[in-house]
Structure 1
Amino acid sequence: MENSAFSNISHGVQQPLNTPPESPTKAAPPRSRFGHAHKKTESWSSLNHIVEHGIAIPTSPGSHNTIEVPATRSPDAHASQYMNQLSAPPSMKERRLSRNSFGAALPIPRSKRQSRLSSVTFADVQDALASATGARPDMAQMQPTREILASRVQDVNAEKVRGAKNMAFVFDIDGVLVHGDRLIPEGQKVLSMLNGNNELGIKIPHIFLTNGSGKPELARTEQLAKILQNPVSTDQFIQSHTPMRALAEYYSTVLVVGGEEYRCREVAEQYGFKDIIVPNDIVAWDPSIAPYRVFTDAERASSRPRDFTQVEIEAIMVFSDSRDYATDMQIIMDLLRSKKGRLGTTAEDPVSERIPIYFSQGDMLCPTEHPIPRMSQGAFRIGLEAMYKALTGVDLERVVYGKPELATYKYADEVIASWMDVLHGEERVPENVYMIGDNPASDIVGGNMYGWNTCLVRTGVFQGGENDEENPANFGVFANVWEAVTTACRKQLGPDFKFEWDDRVNPVLHGKASAIV
């Protein structure tokens, strides 16, 4: 189930927190789950640089529920390529030995997700959809009859059933299945087929892996299920900050940034963070900290102000896109330049006393209802990096989750195996995993490096030629998600595989529809 190059981590043998993991530049190239060296693209180790002496996140006594995965993004600020030399930065060789020269590890949850996120089940969402379509609660369901018939069909098509259970799909969401709140029609059709509307009546495993963020998982899956008119469970859903719940075991008092209203505070509460601060709390305490902000009475009433000169904020978590760049950047910059996260102070050393900052994803662009993709969290991060370097002369080191980060894909393996257990009672990762995405720089490059089959669709960010030149999809480029999925199914299940269930099917005829007289 795990990428073999990182098996020492995936099987629970953690590096000591004060000892950095071995640099992948000294190790063999990453291999796929089945021992085949990657041939399609550069590996994580050759594409990125890891700090050799960076110190991992703080020790948390009694913390045994996380896995620490080596970070694969460069710790150096991406802003440097966009900037003139504003000043000569001090040598970073020695400074990277400091406590906050992090970037060596990204914690992800070790165990399966439990009811902390939600207790919603596949059946729960089906009931909700039935309610939304006007079905009576006492109405007899016909599905058990169909399941019995499908079971008989599967009994006489054992080879195809094995193939269907040995493949899985990983879907990006925005630009693949939806555009914001607007459905991409092929997305609904694909999910219907994978949820059993096929010749075997079998559920083909699939999960959702998105760099979207800003809402609790349950709220996002309910919204997605309504748009797609198909059940979506939290147990098959990963948004960019979902793996970041592991950080609650390391930090207690955190600043959470981004998202609409106070939804990201709700996310952090569900993840188990103890003391959660949002920018509005700080503005309510001292409006002069954000001189260009118009702070309404309603915002003040819903804030939680206190004397933040007496509070040590341990880390900054950017969970989602900022809705107010000026205010969020000002507060983050004050904290990054403070003495160990205490507002109103200024650190003597901008590195050794700096608190860590985590970003849930690094995408520059995101497809929306607007015809041209909009700037995303990556643009906000680059702006912060440029501002920090201009003020301090030092590159901002940071940790970035989300695609194409290795930690996200390792966590996806855990979720795929768990969902396979829900569907088919087999807790494993199928051999043939297909990543369907629209962004070559995140969906495709990450899937390629993890040994997945990657499919690039033209309904989102990518609008190029035959394939992306820098990060080509190894399985192909398709007009939409339906073409990608059906092509993959025909490869694994045969060219004659039918993508619709026929109620006239007769198991005696080996899955073929009976003749109508």
Structure 2
Amino acid sequence: MVKSNAYEDSTCDDLRGKEVSDFYFIMKFGKTTMSQFQQDGEWRRRDSAVKRGQLSIPSDQGNAIEVRALRSSISDAGSLMHNLSLSPSFQDRRGSRNSFGMALPIPKSPRSSRLSGSRDPASLKRDVLASQIQDMAKEKVEAAKNMAFAFDIDGVLVHGSKLIPEAARVMEVLNGDNELGIKLPYILLTNGGGKTESARVDELSGILKSPISTDQFIQSHTPMQALSEYYDTVLVCGGEGFKVRQVAEDYGFKTVVHTKDIQAWDPTISPWSKLSDEERKQAKIRDFDNLNFDAIMVFADSRDYQTDMQIIIDLLLSENGRLKTKAKNPLANQIPIYFSQGDLVFPTEHALPRLTQGAFRIAIESQYKTLTGGDLERVIYGKPELATYKYADTVIQQWMKEIHNEHTLPKNIYMIGDNPQSDICGGNMYGWNTCLVRTGVFKGGDNDINNPANFGVFANVLEAVQAAVKKELGQEFKLKWQDEEVNPVLQPGGVSAIE
């Protein structure tokens, strides 16, 4: 059997007639190509498309697009992907690699909005007045529709469950409390996760005192829902309780196994960890002796490092993803593993940033290398990975249609974050305007040395939004709606502002 990295730069033509695992072929060229490989001409068409840099559709339903993830930035499709670092210091995450040489599928299907359709009379009145003002200021309106914001959450809008005070005012301004009464498009783009999008949106709406829709919200694992068309049986871990199991099931994975399910089935698999009575009740035990896992999904921070690491390592070293087996050559037969994000630390209510999923991944990589002598093949989603930004484009476009009935992508997008190695690095590489705030991870000087924010460094999110709005809409643009300055069409004797 050919080792997975032996043909890293191979084309379909190179591999024709050689013994290559189905897994490697699918990860390199896509599931559709594998099924059609024996058909004359098809493999040539696919390879040619890859070399031309075309992003093909790995689904007959057309609900995903591919973004190639590479080992090396100098490979043919290197311009389509930037990658996370293996360096624990994370000083420069731009020069390293994502593994598998695979295509990362991204969901494109729209989601149902979670915003309420009911409006109070005062809001309806302001909408009417705002419509008239906007009719008289078409140039400013077009400029407003041609800008958008992407916010990190932790360290920018909130600290854990606590609101950063300036964030509430930002939500008011973007939701129409400005001189045009216009909604400015924005999305929330976080490396957090571990629960369903709807559950997290409900929490944030309460903290921010502003309605947030699932249509404008992206968690680190949100784009991973597209992987459900490739894998049936998956191991999931991370987050509180069994919530990530519900996440994976909602994404469409057919057989979802939580690490605690396995621990309940065989407690000896993690000798120093004990399940609570409630965890035993929620665990779904089945015949794991005869179950082959297709992939491993780390959706959020592990709450039980020992158990999660042990089971993950067991499967990475297994024969065909079956527990209690050991592959003769694990480097050639490793099942795929996906991490939802790569941050090493994140801000909390604690005085100093805390370790997060990146630290967990580094530990697994180190264990795997010690046990096998080879590097762990893995794929990372989240910021600053290109797959996340490609997906963000589709979400912004959908949100533009929701609030302005225009399915367009604004030209001027501002990424506001607190982490230079994820928020700013990714935004810079994707061509967004980047704003670094001092309310989270970043505690440096004038700007970050390795990943400087190209639009500037600000004390908080409100200052960043104010600077961006005034740049795009003019220094005199007012970030406050003034009823008294509007032609009072709804007052007795009033004359319409658009007559």
Task: Settle same-fold status: TM greater than 0.5.
Answer: yes
Structure 1 residue 476 corresponds to structure 2 residue 473:
no
Structure 2: how far apart are the matches of 1:81 and 1:171? Answer: 25
Residue 329 of structure 2 corresponds to: 349
The SS at the match of 2:320 is coil
The SS at the match of 1:456 is strand
Residue 431 of structure 2 corresponds to: 451
Structure 1: how far apart are the matches of 2:214 and 2:71? Answer: 28
Residue 500 of structure 1 corresponds to: 480
Structure 1: how far apart are the matches of 2:87 and 2:486? Answer: 65
Give the direction of change, closer, same or farther, for the CA distance of 1:188–1:235 in structure 2 (3 Å limit): same
Residue pairs, 1:294-309, within 5 angstroms: 294-309=274-289
- One-letter amino acid of the structure 2 residue matched with residue 108 of structure 1: I
Residue pairs, 1:169-184, within 5 angstroms: 169-184=149-164
Residue 376 of structure 2 corresponds to: 396
TM-score by length of 1: 0.79
How big is each residue's C-alpha offset from its partner over 1:421-478, in whole Å with a ceiling of 9 and x where there is no partner? 1111110111111000100001001111111000000000111000000000000000
Give the direction of change, closer, same or farther, for the CA distance of 1:187–1:198 in structure 2 (3 Å limit): same
Structure 2: how far apart are the matches of 1:411 and 1:249? Answer: 17
Q: 2:102 aligns with which of 88, 101, 104?
A: 104
Structure 2: how far apart are the matches of 1:468 and 1:176? Answer: 16
Residue 186 of structure 2 corresponds to: 206
Question: Is the Cα contact below 8 Å between 2:105 and 2:226 reproduced in 1?
Answer: yes
Question: Is the Cα contact below 8 Å between 1:80 and 1:386 reproduced in 2?
Answer: no
Give the direction of change, closer, same or farther, for the CA distance of 1:72–1:223 in structure 2 (3 Å limit): farther
Structure 2: how far apart are the matches of 1:150 and 1:424? Answer: 13
- Identity over the aligned pairs, expressed in percent? 58
The SS at the match of 1:428 is coil
Residue 114 of structure 2 corresponds to: 121
Residue 340 of structure 1 corresponds to: 320
Give the direction of change, closer, same or farther, for the CA distance of 1:63–1:454 in structure 2 (3 Å limit): same
How many residue pairs match? The answer is 434
Structure 2: how far apart are the matches of 1:175 and 1:74? Answer: 32
Structure 1: how far apart are the matches of 2:448 and 2:129? Answer: 44
Give the direction of change, closer, same or farther, for the CA distance of 1:242–1:77 in structure 2 (3 Å limit): closer
Question: Is the Cα contact below 8 Å between 2:58 and 2:105 reproduced in 1?
Answer: no
Residue pairs, 1:308-347, within 5 angstroms: 308-347=288-327
Give the direction of change, closer, same or farther, for the CA distance of 1:496–1:72 in structure 2 (3 Å limit): farther
The SS at the match of 1:352 is helix
Structure 2: how far apart are the matches of 1:348 and 1:67? Answer: 35
The SS at the match of 1:507 is coil
Structure 1: how far apart are the matches of 2:452 and 2:48? Answer: 29
Structure 2: how far apart are the matches of 1:182 and 1:23? Answer: 49
Residue 374 of structure 1 corresponds to: 354
Higher relative contact order (Cα pairs below 8 Å, separated by 6+ residues) = 1
TM-score by length of 2: 0.82
Residue 420 of structure 2 corresponds to: 440
How big is each residue's C-alpha offset from its partner over 1:285-326, in whole Å with a ceiling of 9 and x where there is no partner? 110000011122221121111221200010000000000000
Question: Is the Cα contact below 8 Å between 1:112 and 1:415 reproduced in 2?
Answer: no
The SS at the match of 1:142 is helix
Aligned-residue offset at 1:405: 0.4
Give the direction of change, closer, same or farther, for the CA distance of 1:61–1:432 in structure 2 (3 Å limit): closer
- In structure 1, runs of 5+ residues without a counterpart are 1-12, 29-58, 83-99, 128-139
Q: 1:265 aligns with which of 245, 249, 256?
A: 245
The SS at the match of 2:485 is coil
Structure 1: how far apart are the matches of 2:47 and 2:341? Answer: 22
Structure 2: how far apart are the matches of 1:453 and 1:338? Answer: 45
Give the direction of change, closer, same or farther, for the CA distance of 1:370–1:23 in structure 2 (3 Å limit): farther
Give the direction of change, closer, same or farther, for the CA distance of 1:79–1:171 in structure 2 (3 Å limit): closer
- One-letter amino acid of the structure 1 residue matched with residue 109 of structure 2: K
Structure 1 residue 425 corresponds to structure 2 residue 418:
no
Structure 1: how far apart are the matches of 2:47 and 2:347? Answer: 36
Residue 47 of structure 1 corresponds to: none
Structure 1: how far apart are the matches of 2:251 and 2:411? Answer: 31
